[in-house]
């Protein structure tokens, strides 16, 4: 298989990325194309590229849940975490526990998706401002508190 064929397969259907030979999943340009189309493709890139900030950033901007497959260092990186949470507040579940204790991170997550309160550190679950932010986002949430 040639480079152009690999690109064509991804353009036809991004889910073809996972079945490409490893040499193509190690190629930064091909991986970037895949994660920009579907952030979940991050799970199929080689480990070295899971440590690449440009790749991870593109993936979490497309799908916040892609943070699950990023190198652990990015789960502590506030900029990467914020991009993931801005895309989907529920991505808080994949964030390092140190940032789950961070009020700014928690506020962003519950503002984006009220049920992210489930993943906020215990120390912040009784924080009035955070709980009110979650309630404001979804009045049905009140039944869960």
* pTM for this model (two decimals): 0.88
Q: What is the pLDDT of residues 3-15, one digit of tens each?
A: 999 999 999 999 9
**How far is the C-alpha of 134 from the C-alpha of 13, rounded, in Å?**
37
pLDDT above 70: residue 68: yes
Q: What is the pLDDT of residues 34-44, one digit of tens each?
A: 999 999 999 99
Task: Report the share of the chain in percent with pLDDT over 90.
Answer: 81
What are the residue boundaries of the structural domains of the chain, listed by start?
1-75, 96-145
**How far is the C-alpha of 32 from the C-alpha of 85, rounded, in Å?**
20
- Please state the rounded mean pLDDT for residues 73-91: 97
- Please state the rounded mean pLDDT for residues 45-63: 97
**How far is the C-alpha of 46 from the C-alpha of 110, rounded, in Å?**
32
Per the prediction, the chain carries an average pLDDT of 92
SS (H, E, C) the chain: CCHHHHHHHHHHCHHHHHHCCHHHHCCHHHHHHHHHHCHHHHHHCCCCHHHCHHHHHHHHHHCHHHHHHCCHHHHCCHHHHHHHHHHCHHHHHHCCHHHHCCHHHHHHHHHHCHHHHHHCCHHHCCCHHHHHHHHHHCHHHHHHC
- Please state the rounded mean pLDDT for residues 21-50: 97
pLDDT above 90: residue 143: no
pLDDT of residue 138: 60
Which of 49-63, 87-101, 102-116 shows the lowest per-residue confidence on average (mean pLDDT)?
A: 102-116
């Amino acid at each position: 298989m040639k480079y152009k064929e690999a690109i064509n397969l991804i353009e036809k259907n991004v889910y073809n990325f996972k079945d490409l030979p490893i040499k193509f999943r190690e190629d930064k340009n091909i991986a970037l194309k895949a994660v920009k189309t579907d952030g979940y493709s991050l799970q199929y890139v080689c480990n070295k590229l899971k440590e690449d900030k440009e790749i991870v950033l593109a993936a979490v901007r497309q799908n916040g849940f892609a943070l699950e497959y990023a190198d652990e260092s990015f789960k502590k990186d506030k900029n990467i975490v914020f991009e993931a949470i801005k895309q989907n507040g529920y991505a808080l579940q994949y964030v390092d526990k140190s940032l789950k204790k961070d009020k700014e991170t928690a506020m962003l997550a519950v503002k984006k998706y009220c049920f992210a309160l489930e993943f906020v550190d215990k120390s912040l679950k009784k924080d009035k401002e955070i709980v009110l932010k979650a309630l404001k986002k979804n009045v049905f949430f009140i039944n869960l508190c």
